Structure 1
Amino acid sequence: MTAQHAVPAGRAVRVRVPATSANLGPGFDSLGLALSLYDEVVVRVRPEPGATVTIDGVGAGEVPTDDTNLVVRAVRHGLAHAGIAQPGLELHATNAIPHGRGMGSSAAAIVAGLMAARGLLEGVVDLDAATLLTLATEMEGHPDNVAPALFGGLTIAWMTPDGPAHKRLLVHRGVSPVVFVPTSTLSTKLARSLQPMTVPHEDAAFNVSRSALLVAALIQSPELLLAATEDRLHQAYRASAMPETDALIGLLRQHGLAAVVSGAGPSLLVMGSDPAQRLDAAELVERHAESTWRPLMLAVDLGGATVKALPTLEADLAQASTIHGRPPA
């Protein structure tokens, strides 16, 4: 699409995006859960070309701070899809989602950028929910993390001939997640490389039954979570890359706790059927872990990503002038 419009300089938005955990045991590349840990990004259009990025929190001093930054690339992807001339951008990120630990940090960055593009384009072009999911999946490669980051709650995501689709479901109020985050990291690319191209028919059938059961457990019957989170498709194949994660999951499951690898790992997710199970899990990990694991007692995020317009630079200056008793110039 040929660029026909431009976003006015000074326009700004604030975006908040939740962390996510994908797979949830048997739901490989299809199930995802939004969690109450957030990255926040302010994006402002400026007259000068290019992009500058400042980062507080996770990723500060590590991720790119120019046009190669993933959030910036996602903003530009959304604007390009809408046929909008690429403006200069100032971006300030305050990040809490751990990187490289299976909590959807790349999905959050992509969704943050696309939601920022949506907010910057308000009144010019509408990037609807289906378009956002398509654009996010194009960048991420699969929809299992970007869907819950966009829409919140429990999501089922799948691919169709026309692109990605999703269904959002409300999670039973008794489900109580806790994520244990190690100091080590693991790349999704490496984790995926450890899986075989084919699996036995009985393993595929096993996971079909458990995935169906998991949806029922999460929305209606949390007492079934332990059985519903059994998996034969991916976790065992990836265990060699995260042996302590694998050992802790085995220990927690022996104690009746629904523990799984969070996304590609190496973090692990426990979905308790009541809040007390989270405390049991934390005690077990603290007592038996060989290294340091940070427990994150989280809730299920229900709202997904949000975007809010901010005052323009001109409005900021006018407000400042009024506060100091001077009329705006």
Structure 2
Amino acid sequence: MLEVYVPATSANIGPGYDCLGLCLDLFNKFTFEEIEEGLEFGECEEAFANEDNLVYKTMLYFYDKVKPKKIPKGIKISFENNIPICRGLGSSSTCIVAGLMAANVLSEANLSKDEILKLAIELEGHPDNVAPAIYGNMIIAFMEDGNLYHEKIKVPDGIRFLAMVPNFELSTEKARAVLPKQIPHKDGVFNVSRCALLIAAFTNNNLDLVKVACKDKFHQDYRSHLINNYDDIVAYANTLDSLGTFLSGAGPTIMTLAKDSDKEILDKMNDYLSTLEDDWQILDLHCDAEGAYCKQV
């Protein structure tokens, strides 16, 4: 039996649209057991217990692309979901990464992490969730002419990531549909400068720069109206001693960074969110430096 643990991720990180992502210490657990034939599900929501299951389809994609000599005749898959679905925390990416890593182990294909990441990008379309899920830490990654380029950015110690998760979903397709086909040149310059500053701020542990570096002109302004009270929440978070606030992935989760030493911000944000119409929960998370891993049991 094989267990695969895949972490939540937060993509875009403000100005790093489709190229910058962060690994978080909240994991989905996937269990794979070879059976004589066919497909079975153990613990799994009924809606996902079928051949359209993303984990299973990803495994088939791996076998079709890699064509390993050994392919299991049957598989039983179980899920332990801890990451909110359709909330901008990479839940679908965990399925893709888990399917690829499980297929890699069970088929004894022995692909490298880079090779697995390339397959994940083919399925996901962009690397900002799957790259940090595989490698841990914060990752800058992109593809060019079929070549993969990526590098880790070490997140300084002592930072907590407060993921404010609402009780409503927002599909990635809907969130992408509101984005413009073109952006003004000045907005491109705006994002390039903030993204460079954000990476420098983390690299040099200059956290005073993070708040202004989280600003964005590529996607947050266009998606904010899809999320109830988005502007109010961001404005309130920025009145506290937060290090910065940004939309996690395509949303609707809103992420606020704070120092571990700040003992009051969590209670203050919870109190404020309780006054809003929708129900919000806060996940108190930290950056995970290792990423996804497998364990034979």
Instruction: Classify the TM-score, shorter chain.
Output: over 0.9
Match of 2:24 in 1: 35
* Deviation readout 1:56-93 (Å, 9 max, x if unpaired): 5xxx344x212211111112222222213462110111
CA contact (8 A) 1:55 1:95 kept: no
| Partner-residue secondary structure (3-state), 2:18 | coil
* Deviation readout 1:270-326 (Å, 9 max, x if unpaired): 122x1244741541342254122111111111110001223xxxxxxxxxxxxxxxx
| Partner-residue secondary structure (3-state), 1:243 | coil
What is the one-letter code of the residue matched to 2:152?
Answer: R
Please show how residues 218-237 of structure 1 align to structure 2 within 5 Å. Answer: 218-219=202-203, 220-237=205-222
Change (3 A) 1:278 1:231: farther
Change (3 A) 1:74 1:282: farther
Match of 1:280 in 2: 265
1:171 aligns with 2:159: no
Structure 2 CA distance, aligned partners of 1:295 and 1:23? 20
| Partner-residue secondary structure (3-state), 2:42 | strand
What is the one-letter code of the residue matched to 1:54?
Answer: G
Structure 1 CA distance, aligned partners of 2:233 and 2:214? 15
Match of 1:308 in 2: 295
Q: What is the CA distance between 1:131 and its match in structure 2?
A: 1.2
CA contact (8 A) 1:18 1:35 kept: yes
Match of 2:111 in 1: 127
What is the one-letter code of the residue matched to 1:286?
Answer: D
Q: What is the CA distance between 1:256 and its match in structure 2?
A: 5.0
| Partner-residue secondary structure (3-state), 1:55 | coil
1:267 aligns with 2:256: no
Count of matched residue pairs: 291
Structure 1 CA distance, aligned partners of 2:264 and 2:43? 33
Change (3 A) 1:99 1:209: same
TM-score, with structure 1 as normaliser? 0.84
Match of 1:96 in 2: 82
Q: 1:78 aligns with which of 42, 59, 62?
A: 62
| Partner-residue secondary structure (3-state), 2:252 | coil
- Bigger-Rg structure (1/2): 1
1:54 aligns with 2:47: no
Structure 2 CA distance, aligned partners of 1:281 and 1:270? 10
| Partner-residue secondary structure (3-state), 1:195 | coil
* Deviation readout 1:203-229 (Å, 9 max, x if unpaired): 110110100111122232222211111
Q: 1:158 aligns with which of 124, 127, 142?
A: 142
| Partner-residue secondary structure (3-state), 2:17 | coil
CA contact (8 A) 2:72 2:106 kept: no
Structure 2 CA distance, aligned partners of 1:195 and 1:236? 9
* Deviation readout 1:121-159 (Å, 9 max, x if unpaired): 33xx22111210111111111111000011110000112
Q: What is the CA distance between 1:243 and its match in structure 2?
A: 3.0
* Deviation readout 1:241-276 (Å, 9 max, x if unpaired): 11323321122124353111111000111122x124
CA contact (8 A) 1:270 1:281 kept: no
CA contact (8 A) 2:34 2:72 kept: no
Structure 2 CA distance, aligned partners of 1:218 and 1:169? 7
Q: What is the CA distance between 1:165 and its match in structure 2?
A: 2.7
Structure 2 CA distance, aligned partners of 1:179 and 1:279? 16
Structure 1 CA distance, aligned partners of 2:59 and 2:238? 41
Structure 1 CA distance, aligned partners of 2:286 and 2:29? 18
Q: 2:49 aligns with which of 65, 77, 85?
A: 65
TM-score, with structure 2 as normaliser? 0.93
1:247 aligns with 2:214: no
Match of 1:45 in 2: 34
What is the one-letter code of the residue matched to 1:150?
Answer: I
Gapped regions of structure 2 (runs ≥ 5): none
Aligned-residue Cα RMSD (Å) equals 1.7
Q: Which runs of at least 4 in structure 1 moved beyond 3 Å after TM superposition?
A: 276-279
Structure 2 CA distance, aligned partners of 1:279 and 1:181? 19
CA contact (8 A) 2:6 2:28 kept: yes
Identity among equivalent pairs (%): 35
Match of 1:195 in 2: 179
